[in-house]
Amino acid sequence: MRQPKQPPAISKEAAKACDEAIDAMLAAYPDLHGALVSTADGHVVATRLPQGWERGDVAAMASSMTALAESVSQRTALSRCRNVIIEGEGGHITLLKVDRALTLTAVGKPTMNLGLQLSACRSCAEQICRSMDAQADGVASSTGSTRAHR
Amino acid sequence: MSAEIKIVFTGTVGAGKTTAIASVSDRPPVATDALATDDTGALKPTTTVALDYGEMRLPDGDKLRLYGTPGQHRFRFMWEILAKGALGFVILVDNTRPSPLEDLAGYLDNFGPWIERSAAVVGVTHGEYCRGPDLEQYHEFISRREAAHPVMFTDPRQPRHVITLMDTLLAALEFSTASADGAPET
Amino acid sequence: MSTINVASANLDPEAARFVHSTVATYLSGAGWNFVSTPDLADILLVDLDTPAGASAWARLDGSRRPVRVAVTADHGRLASALAVGKPLRYSTLLSTLRRAANGEPGAGEVAGGASRFDPGKHLLGVIQGLVAGGRSAVVDHPDHAAVAIDSARRRWAVAGDRPLTPDIFRLPAGAFEMQMGPLPAALDYRPLEELLYRAAWHASNGRLQAGTDLSTPLRLRRWPDFTRVPYRPIHLRMAAYLQGRSATPLTIAERTGAAVSDVHDLLNACRAAGLITEARSESRPPPEQPSAASREGLLARIRMRLLGGAGKPRAGGDR
């Protein structure tokens, strides 16, 4: 599948890690329509969405939703927002922060259990973080520099 | 229940929408900023990804709500959400961008259906650097589009500038529903 | 020039003030006065719609002085005798008063009102003279800021350490000296339009500009930059009214509720800045909107909140 153009702040290796993580998640959970990783400011990093879904729009909307949710969460003394859940007639959409810069969006079919979907997304996010940490450690050890900020 | 009373601030990235709302809001505005990972990052470290929200209390207890839109085209779905029911629009244009008039055309087009039912004023920011079109050029450009929106240089950090823009918008609203008609002109 | 005294009887206070200001602004130069005592009046405006006014009208019947002018909301009465309809409008009031005086000039002429605004008598005229001649100079006054005028690039700047204050614009033109030649470098230049606007605005003092015809419709070519020039809130409404329309000064006043002095200040300043053009005819007035009243109320509340106090001049440079 063609890689989307990478925004400058996300490395190709990081994008590849995201690809692999969401591939693994979708393989393990066939009741998910698809998933997408995007930057906090709405750019696509990696995507496995069904044909015809506007991934650019989904990335931008995910950015808006998580930003608004974070704002609501902070103002209602819930502290940081962990994820956003949209319950549609055709299933759930879950948006989960991978880290400060990335958001994971997953779209579930009606048959997908919400708890399972959230659990799958957390695992996927953790896999992405581990891969990126490993990449950063690998770069650090080969160049002798400190870990680069993602 | 009274209808929402709102004015929408829109315009190019970095033009000063968030700043303008912050300079007149009665309370610290809600901002939904995220780290900028593209060219925007060269202008400023963060960018609005959903909306800015400020408010001004009116004498009878109502609130005038001030909404700022994201500037990038990929957030155009927010433009439609925020534009609905707006009293009018303040379009801020950064005069140091490569093509400010084209930028303005984009926003006039994007919000055209709503502007036709209300009014818009244009605030040209960063004009003090004397680059970019002057007011005559903005006026001619808008006139060629068969419109007549007021255009002024604006420093969004200055509350009196932002208030002047909003005051101008109110004046334009007062007479905008009845356009000039019929009488021959020279 | 004989004196003509005008008084009113039984008009409500606002209408009486309207008559007074009309006479003072447009007719006092021709020897007309507004007097508070009806007994001294040559022309008496009487509100026919009140019982007291109707009685006063009847008592005047058969009198040769004063000449009666009926003020009434019953427009059926307007065709007969001398009458002017409510609400009072400058144009109809002026024409009726002149008819009452028998042979005064028609409403379209400038009948010699109060003193006129003559740009040539102020700093504005000095600047306009430089621009017309394509010359650049530093215009100096011993007690005020020096102003550099760059006609070629249509820009200006304060030259020297003294700040520019509004009273400089009211000084007589002859008080200024000009230093021709290359302008000082590295000044903070601004568009000349701003200075022309400010110079006219401060010197205008609410007066009609000499040589202008009240019956000529005008059109606003472009909005002034109100973030950089002074204005009063009513000026925004006038500018909005003139956006895409042409109107005479009296129509502008009537449609926006502005005092004629405010109309003159705005038009004089816009004229000096090159923002006004003459039109062949007036636009038809805008039709009334069904929701106009409720929206006007909302806009008024927002305006009150923005201004934090009605009618104060706003800064765009100075007050």
CA atoms in the 13 A half-sphere facing the CB of C137 = 18
Residue C310: per-residue pLDDT: 37
Q: Which of C239, C283, C315 sits opposite B183 (nearest CB)?
A: C283
- The verdict on C86 and C141 lying in the same domain is no
Q: Which structural domains are found in chain A, ordered by start?
A: 12-139 (3.30.450.30)
Residue A79: per-residue pLDDT: 85
Chain B contact present for A60, CB below 8 A: yes
Convert the pLDDT of each residue in C140-159 to its tens digit. Answer: 999 999 999 999 999 999 99
- Chains A, B: CB contacts within 8 A come to 70
Q: Does C107 reside within a domain?
A: no
Chain B: closest CA distance from residue A109 (Å): 24
Q: C33: domain CATH number?
A: 3.40.50.2300
Residue B108: per-residue pLDDT: 95
Q: Does C252 reside within a domain?
A: yes
Q: Which of B152, B153, B177 sits opposite C289 (nearest CB)?
A: B177
Chain B contact present for A38, CB below 8 A: no
Return mean pLDDT, chain A.
Answer: 87
Q: Which of C41, C69, C101 is the last residue of a domain?
A: C101
Could you give the number of structural domains in chain C?
A: 3
Among positive and negative, which fits the CA dihedral A55, A56, A59, A62? negative
- The verdict on C233 and C263 lying in the same domain is yes
Residue C221: per-residue pLDDT: 92
Around Cβ C233, how many Cβ atoms within 10 Å? 18
Chain C: closest CA distance from residue B24 (Å): 9
Question: What DSSP state is assigned to residue C284?
Answer: P
In B, minimum Cα distance to C222 occurs at: B139
Contact A40 B30 (CB under 8 A): no
Which chain A residues contact residue B49 at CB under 8 A?
Answer: 40-42, 60, 63-64, 67
In C, minimum Cα distance to B65 occurs at: C302
- The verdict on C59 and C125 lying in the same domain is no
Residue with the larger pLDDT of the pair B114 and B183: B114
Indicate whether B173 pLDDT > 60.
Answer: yes
Q: Which of B60, B134, B164 sits opposite C226 (nearest CB)?
A: B164
Q: Do chains A and B touch (3 or more CB pairs under 8 A)?
A: yes
Distances (CA, A) of B52 to A102, A137, B7, B21, B136: 21, 38, 12, 8, 31
Residue C26: per-residue pLDDT: 84
- Mutation for B interface: C155, C222, C227, most B CBs within 10 A: C227
Convert the pLDDT of each residue in A40-98 to its tens digit. Answer: 999 999 999 999 999 999 999 999 999 999 999 988 888 889 899 999 999 999 999 99
Contact A67 B78 (CB under 8 A): no
Indicate whether B184 pLDDT > 50.
Answer: no
Residue C52: per-residue pLDDT: 82
Q: Which of C281, C292, C316 sits opposite B183 (nearest CB)?
A: C281
Q: Does C314 reside within a domain?
A: no
* Residue C100 in tokens: 């009452």
Q: Does C318 reside within a domain?
A: no
Q: Does C139 reside within a domain?
A: yes
Q: What are C36-41's contacts with CB under 8 Å, separation 24+?
A: C36/C7, C37/C7, C38/C7, C38/C8, C38/C9, C38/C66, C40/C5, C40/C7, C41/C5, C41/C6, C41/C7, C41/C66
Residue C290: per-residue pLDDT: 54
Q: Does C109 reside within a domain?
A: no
Full DSSP string of C82-96 = SEEESSP-HHHHHHH
Chain A contact present for B147, CB below 8 A: no
- The verdict on C68 and C86 lying in the same domain is yes
Chain B: closest CA distance from residue C58 (Å): 43
Residue A26: per-residue pLDDT: 96
Q: Which of B161, B165, B167 sits opposite C303 (nearest CB)?
A: B167
Share of chain C above pLDDT 70, in %: 84
Which chain C residues contact residue B157 at CB under 8 A?
Answer: none
Residue A127: per-residue pLDDT: 94
Convert the pLDDT of each residue in C7-20 to its tens digit. Answer: 998 898 889 989 99
First to last CA, chain A: 24
Share of chain B above pLDDT 90, in %: 65
Q: Does C317 reside within a domain?
A: no
Residue B38: per-residue pLDDT: 87
Convert the pLDDT of each residue in C276-318 to its tens digit. Answer: 999 888 887 766 555 555 677 888 888 888 887 433 444 454 5
Which chain C residues contact residue B155 at CB under 8 A?
Answer: 227
Indicate whether A149 pLDDT > 50.
Answer: no
Instruction: Tell me what ipTM this predicted complex has.
Output: 0.87
How far, in Å, CA of C127 to CA of A107, rounded? 70
Convert the pLDDT of each residue in C195-209 to its tens digit. Answer: 999 999 999 988 888
Which chain C residues contact residue B56 at CB under 8 A?
Answer: 305-306
- The verdict on C247 and C299 lying in the same domain is yes
Lowest mean pLDDT among B14-28, C236-250, C252-266: C252-266
Q: C302: domain CATH number?
A: 1.10.10
Indicate whether B52 pLDDT > 80.
Answer: yes
Q: Which of C74, C101, C128 is the last residue of a domain?
A: C101
Share of chain B above pLDDT 70, in %: 92
Identify the residue whose tokens are 């994201």.
B70
- The verdict on C12 and C65 lying in the same domain is yes
- The verdict on C69 and C163 lying in the same domain is no
Packing angle between helix C192-204 and helix C123-132, nearest 10 degrees?
A: 150
Indicate whether C112 pLDDT > 50.
Answer: no
Mean pLDDT of all residues in B13-33: 92
Indicate whether B55 pLDDT > 90.
Answer: yes
- Mutation for C interface: B136, B175, B177, most C CBs within 10 A: B175
- The verdict on C208 and C288 lying in the same domain is yes
How far, in Å, CA of A18 to CA of C17, rounded? 78
Contact B35 A59 (CB under 8 A): no
pTM: 0.76
Indicate whether C104 pLDDT > 50.
Answer: no
- The verdict on C184 and C204 lying in the same domain is no
Chain A contact present for B51, CB below 8 A: yes
Chain B contact present for A109, CB below 8 A: no
Q: Specify which residues C139 forms β-bridges with.
A: C147, C178
Confidence of residue C122 (pLDDT cuts 50, 70, 90): very high
Q: Which of C139, C166, C192 is the last residue of a domain?
A: C192
Indicate whether C56 pLDDT > 50.
Answer: yes
- The verdict on C66 and C47 lying in the same domain is yes
Indicate whether C111 pLDDT > 50.
Answer: no
Q: Which domain holds residue C160?
A: 119-192
Convert the pLDDT of each residue in A104-141 to its tens digit. Answer: 999 999 999 999 999 999 999 999 999 888 877 776 66
Return mean pLDDT, chain B.
Answer: 88
Around Cβ C91, how many Cβ atoms within 10 Å? 16
- The verdict on C178 and C205 lying in the same domain is no
CA atoms in the 13 A half-sphere facing the CB of B164 = 32
Residue A78: per-residue pLDDT: 83
- The verdict on C86 and C124 lying in the same domain is no
Q: Does C250 reside within a domain?
A: yes
Indicate whether C66 pLDDT > 60.
Answer: yes
